[in-house]
Structure 1
Amino acid sequence: MRVCVITVSDTCSAGTRTDESGPKLVELVDTSAVVNATVNEGSPFVVPDDVTAIHDALVEQSKFADVILTTGGTGFAPRDVTPEATLKVIDRRCSGLEIALHTASLKITSMAALSRAIVGIRGGTLIVNMPGSVKAVKECWDTLEPLLNHGINLLKNTDDGSQHARMK
């Protein structure tokens, strides 16, 4: 599985703040004992909070990645436009994953209700928006990690049914 990480942040893209959540996501994917994945070279890619920049990064990376994990730009601030850019590029929403991520996060903090994160599919690529904090990235990864192999196998039509049998 090929994974791309994109950090959405005006301050990180301008070089006035160090990106911490993107590298954390790369580390979580790289050290996963559950997901057998390779993180795309150059990850995390850092883009500003701009619909066009996010859109273009998602489109470009979807040519190479099976999964794109974004961090940042999912809140209520006027510049938080990651969900809007994601909606412009996906073909299908994955509301079950959205609910799972929100529900798990809400068990930890009521602030998770302020996330507008989107999950969807573009062609053969799963795109998952996560909040921009290191803590939230870890919490979201903990929910996503056990679902990712089976989800990507289904998306790529390579699932042999054994995962479903084990879930019964």
Structure 2
Amino acid sequence: MTAPSPARIGIVTVSDRASRGEYEDRGGPAIHAYLAEVLTSPWEAVSRVIPDEQATIEATLIELCDHAGCSLVITTGGTGPARRDVTPEATEAVAEKLMPGFGELMRQVSLQKVPTAILSRQTAVIRGRTLIVNLPGQPKAIRECLDAVFPAIPYCLDLIEAAYLTTDESKIVAFRPKK
């Protein structure tokens, strides 16, 4: 019996400055480190650092979902109210289904830490057999948000017939209904 192929997970940093090399990308590496810590199933990252341009974000999400075979795409950055923050608009533009509970939970958790979390517009959507989750840009907020929503991600991937992910239960307990 052959081992299952590794799940492909897209990690997209949306940042004008990081994409130009003027600023060190800390968000993408924070997502990668989190996944390396909690996942026990084989996976591989497909990473991108792109500018805050809606057309570029849409094209990158489509490429990762439809061509690169990613079951999960996690973005960081571009979720605030600033004029150039268009990650949620780009994500919703490529969506087949909206998953508003992810954003609601992430904001609820973040509001316990900082009152400006209400300004964040994180969201999640389904495109084909891919779950796309938008996260804020700060590594601390990335961890807090992933801690909140990750227990539901493996089962969501099961439901959309994507990769099967398992977690280190001492770090994150993935919810799956008992059969």
TM-score, structure 2 normalization = 0.83
Residue 154 of structure 1: how far off its partner (Å):
1.3
Aligned counterparts of 2:16 and 2:115: Cα–Cα separation in 1: 26
1:142 to 147, 155, 163: 147
* Cα distance change of structure 1 residues 36 and 108 upon mapping to structure 2, 3 Å threshold: farther
Residue 80 of structure 1: how far off its partner (Å):
0.4
CA contact (8 A) 2:129 2:162 kept: no
CA contact (8 A) 1:22 1:71 kept: yes
Runs of 4+ in 1 over 4 A off after TM superposition: none
Determine the structure 2 residue equivalent to 1:12. Answer: 18
CA contact (8 A) 2:71 2:162 kept: no
Report Cα offsets for 1:98-130 as digits up to 9, x if no partner.
211111111222111000112100011000000
1:155 to 154, 160, 165: 160
Decide which structure has greater helix share: 1
Aligned counterparts of 2:18 and 2:57: Cα–Cα separation in 1: 14
Q: What is the root-mean-square deviation in Å for CA atoms of aligned residues?
A: 2.0
Q: Could you say what secondary structure the match of 2:103 adopts?
A: helix
CA contact (8 A) 1:29 1:39 kept: no
Identity rate of aligned residues, in percent?
Answer: 35
Aligned counterparts of 2:106 and 2:59: Cα–Cα separation in 1: 25
* Cα distance change of structure 1 residues 106 and 37 upon mapping to structure 2, 3 Å threshold: farther
Residue 36 of structure 1: how far off its partner (Å):
2.8
Aligned counterparts of 2:150 and 2:32: Cα–Cα separation in 1: 13
Aligned counterparts of 2:90 and 2:146: Cα–Cα separation in 1: 21
Residue 31 of structure 1: how far off its partner (Å):
1.6
- 1:110 counterpart = 2:126: no
1:51 to 49, 54, 65: 54
Unaligned runs of 5+ in 1: none
Residue 157 of structure 1: how far off its partner (Å):
7.7
TM-score, structure 1 normalization = 0.89
